[in-house]
């Protein structure tokens, strides 16, 4: 069945360090056929991103949500799209190209 229902989840974890900001950004994809209970394909990847700071600066919690949504999510999405397409090909499954991400 070529009509997969695609479910994508994203989550991030921020860790402030003295000289930088460390982010673990995980994106998970499940592709499920309406005819079966179990997913036909599951792909999950975690990106480790590090931003360095020149000054000892504490970043407020209010910064993280918009930063994650507008910057990290958009930046990481292009790498995730390529990763999914590559892995699907390696699994010898029909091609799956994820769309561009929209805000």
In a domain, 96, yes or no: no
In a domain, 66, yes or no: yes
Q: What are phi and psi of 89, to 5 degrees?
A: -65, -40
Q: Structural domain of residue 83, as residue ranges?
A: 5-90
Task: Tell me the per-residue pLDDT of 32-79, one tens digit each, with 9 for 90 and over.
Answer: 988 899 999 999 999 999 999 888 778 888 988 899 888 999 999 999
In a domain, 101, yes or no: no
pTM of the model: 0.85
In a domain, 24, yes or no: yes
Q: How far apart are CA 27 and CA 67, in angstroms?
A: 16
The tokens describing 86, both together, are 């590559």
Structural domains of the chain, count: 1
């Amino acid at each position: 069945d070529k009509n997969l229902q695609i479910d994508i989840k994203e989550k991030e974890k921020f860790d402030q360090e003295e000289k930088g900001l460390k982010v673990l950004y995980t994106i998970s994809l499940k592709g499920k056929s309406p005819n079966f209970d179990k997913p036909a394909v599951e792909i999950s990847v975690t990106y480790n991103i590090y931003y360095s700071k020149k000054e000892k600066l504490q970043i407020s919690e209010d910064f993280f949500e918009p930063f994650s949504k507008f910057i990290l999510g958009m930046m990481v999405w292009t790498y995730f799209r390529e990763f999914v397409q590559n892995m699907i090909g390696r699994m010898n499954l029909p091609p799956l190209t994820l769309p561009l991400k929209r805000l």
